[in-house]
């Protein structure tokens, strides 16, 4: 028998495995068979010495597509983008030592934003572990605080069970990243593959169904409230509970705010949607939370970017807090009614319970409250100041991108000003249309995450909305996109600066611009020239510098579908993100423009000048809002 006959392809082995026939294989073949059995279709990664045994049988797989990225961080973010866009588990792979440590940022990012990914890393041979061997790093120890669970596998017989458990843990309960570190000798050794393995997780039993008593208590508070607000977080999207959310909103007619991670959970066009709360949230959303008497919190974690100064957040509100993760409940704000369970199951039970109360004539009356919140929404829309000299407003770019591309696309943002403008000015009508790094705030997220989203959703248009700073951290993945026919479109919002840092320097550091100038467009310099860079990578490169050219430039980008497109939108350098609540102060200090705060509940609800900025410094010249 030849070597080829002795080592059947993973596809053939998988076909035999479905008949539950044990097979003699290597640990590496067992790994590939396990991935195929978990119906993995894509792995993002880079080979190296310790993981190399796994790459040999991966070459023969007809089910698992491997995409060779240019940096392991790109592999991790691509797995995140794939998972966030599709709801399936994303998979990335790297070798030991620096390959594994380059995944750390993506793992931390996935951990903060509850993204289900499985990272598979090679490790030095088991006999060498702990000897400071070449390319050895204790990746299990390094990532323990930033993964939902992780494994070190030195016995090849454990590979099928560990892979099955990793996918189960990553995708159930509160989703998150799981690391599987496999020693090189375990990949090389002979073992027996059989599927399905016996999963043994005696301490892991996520609670998904809420307790009936807590549902009854929540129903009582909802019926008694006068100023309730649905405070909706990303957990609603992770739980696929958006349809149940819509039903609950239609039933109760309670106003809704959706956090940065929950954009699209309820369509922006819904009349009861008040926008995004938080540091750069809408006046209506921030004010409604502050003046509410009941927060119905679903899959949100009272993040500091939403609450501002925690002691002053929603001071008159009782709190119903529903979350799949019991550790989040009462962590930051004490819950009057804690509910542990999946947002989907919680909403199903709340709909039934509240509907019964309404039928019995005990439903709440929120008409006056709705009128107040709609007044704030009408009087203080999110807007912007038109820049002088015919320069391009970044907000206008995002408005037009939304209008011309539409809600069926996927929008993936980096981190900074462009992220906030994308959250504010793109219209989100469906879940999983908006991907971003919310909790960790990872610059460099957009391009590789958009790549992963495009692989997972090949029938959709995917736009990466990036800053000129973020883009330069991971733009090498454009090469991956070109070679693998992944036609993402990239809008670089180019203000030649680390824009959000520059905004803070403008507002709080007396315009001392320390190390924020990137020289990408200001003063006639283009280092690099993004259009030339696009051409070097084999992408289509476009540039837009005038408002009158925006629509045509976007249309040109939309017409190119045979390769990635990069559009360099050169925008006004000093555009700022408004509204804004400076860090560490009460949300009551929200400003709609520099030195300008809303005066709530006056007859005309006009914006009035303040005597001092929200950070308690003297105001500069006033700047109106559009």
Instruction: Give the residue among 187, 199, 188, 197 at the shortest CA–CA distance from 149.
Output: 199
Cβ within 8 Å of residue 237, ≥6 positions away? 261, 262, 264, 265, 299, 431, 432
Q: Is 261 a catalytic residue?
A: no
Which position has the token pair 């804004």?
A: 580
- Rounded (5°) CA angle 50-171-214: 145
Question: Within a 13 Å sphere around the CA of 477, how many CA atoms are in the beta-carbon half?
Answer: 34
Q: Is 112 a catalytic residue?
A: no
DSSP string, 361-404: T-----HHHHHHHHHHHHHS----PPPSTTPPPHHHHHHHHHHH
How many residues in the chain? 626
CA dihedral 506, 507, 508, 513 (to 10 degrees): -10
CB atoms within 10 A of CB 223: 18
Q: Is 417 a catalytic residue?
A: no
Q: Which of 29, 38, 72, 136 is catalytic?
A: 72
Q: Is 148 a catalytic residue?
A: no
Which position has the token pair 């981190």?
A: 415
d(CA 332, CA 214): 20
Q: Which of 36, 38, 184, 569 is catalytic?
A: 184
Q: Which of 276, 451, 500, 580 is catalytic?
A: 500
d(CA 67, CA 42): 7
In contact, 81 and 451? CB cutoff 8 Å: yes
CB atoms within 10 A of CB 391: 16
Cβ within 8 Å of residue 440, ≥6 positions away? 105, 108, 109, 112, 113
Q: Which of 16, 63, 88, 135 is catalytic?
A: 135
Q: Which of 134, 316, 334, 352 is catalytic?
A: 134
Q: Is 500 a catalytic residue?
A: yes
Point out the residues that are catalytic. Answer: 72, 134-135, 184, 500
């Amino acid at each position: 028998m030849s070597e080829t006959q002795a080592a059947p392809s993973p596809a053939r082995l998988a076909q035999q495995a479905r008949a539950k026939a044990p097979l003699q294989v290597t640990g590496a073949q067992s790994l590939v068979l396990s991935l195929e059995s978990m119906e993995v279709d894509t792995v993002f990664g880079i080979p190296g010495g310790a993981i190399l045994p796994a790459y040999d049988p991966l070459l023969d797989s007809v089910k698992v597509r491997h995409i060779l990225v240019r940096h392991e961080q790109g592999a991790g973010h691509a797995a995140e983008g794939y998972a966030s866009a599709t709801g399936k588990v994303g998979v990335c792979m790297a070798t030991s030592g620096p390959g594994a440590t380059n995944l750390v940022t993506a793992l931390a990012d996935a951990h903060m934003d509850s993204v289900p990914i499985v990272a598979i890393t090679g490790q030095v041979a088991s006999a060498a572990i702990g000897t400071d061997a070449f390319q050895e790093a204790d990746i299990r120890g390094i990532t323990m605080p930033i993964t939902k669970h992780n494994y070190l596998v030195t016995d090849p017989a454990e590979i099928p069970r560990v892979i099955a458990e990793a996918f189960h843990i990553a995708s159930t309960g509160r989703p998150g990243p799981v690391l599987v570190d496999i020693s090189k000798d375990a990949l090389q050794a002979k073992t027996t593959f059989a599927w399905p393995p016996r999963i043994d997780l005696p301490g892991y039993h996520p609670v998904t169904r809420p307790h009936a008593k807590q549902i009854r208590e929540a129903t009582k508070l909802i019926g008694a409230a006068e100023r309730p607000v649905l405070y909706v977080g990303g957990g609603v999207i992770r739980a696929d509970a958006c349809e149940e959310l819509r039903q609950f909103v239609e039933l109760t007619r309670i106003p809704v705010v959706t956090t940065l991670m929950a954009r699209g959970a309820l369509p922006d066009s819904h009349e009861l949607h008040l926008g995004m709360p938080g540091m750069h949230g809408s006046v209506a959303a921030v004010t409604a939370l502050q003046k509410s008497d009941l927060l119905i919190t679903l899959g949100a974690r009272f993040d500091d970017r939403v609450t501002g100064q925690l002691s002053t957040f929603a001071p008159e509100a009782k709190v119903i807090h529903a979350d799949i993760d019991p550790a989040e409940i009462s962590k930051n704000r004490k819950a009057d009614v804690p509910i542990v369970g999946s947002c989907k199951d919680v909403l199903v039970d709340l709909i039934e319970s509240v509907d019964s109360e309404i039928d019995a004539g005990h439903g709440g009356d929120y008409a006056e409250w709705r009128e107040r919140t709609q007044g704030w929404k009408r009087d203080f829309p999110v807007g912007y100041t038109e820049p002088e000299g015919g320069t391009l407003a970044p907000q206008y770019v995002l408005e037009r991108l939304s209008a011309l591309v539409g809600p069926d696309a996927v929008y993936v943002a980096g981190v900074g000003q462009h992220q906030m403008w994308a959250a504010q000015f793109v219209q989100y009508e469906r879940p999983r249309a908006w991907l971003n790094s919310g909790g960790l705030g990872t610059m460099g997220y957009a391009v590789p995450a958009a790549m992963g989203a495009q692989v997972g959703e090949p029938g959709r248009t995917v736009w990466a909305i990036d800053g000129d700073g973020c883009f330069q951290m991971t733009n090498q993945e454009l090469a991956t996109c070109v070679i693998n026919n992944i036609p993402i479109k990239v809008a670089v919002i180019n203000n030649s600066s680390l824009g959000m840092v520059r905004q803070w320097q403008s507002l709080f550091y007396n315009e001392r611009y320390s190390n924020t100038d990137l020289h990408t467009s200001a003063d006639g310099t283009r280092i690099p020239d993004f259009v030339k860079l696009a051409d070097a990578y084999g992408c289509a490169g476009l540039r837009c510098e005038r408002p009158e050219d925006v629509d045509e430039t976007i249309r040109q980008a939309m017409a190119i579908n045979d390769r990635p497109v990069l559009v360099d939108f050169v925008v006004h350098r000093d555009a700022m993100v408004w509204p804004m609540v400076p860090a560490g102060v009460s949300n009551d200090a929200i400003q709609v423009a520099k030195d300008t705060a809303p005066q709530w509940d006056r007859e005309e609800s006009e914006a009035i000048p303040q005597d001092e900025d929200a950070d308690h410094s003297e105001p500069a010249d006033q700047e109106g809002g559009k």
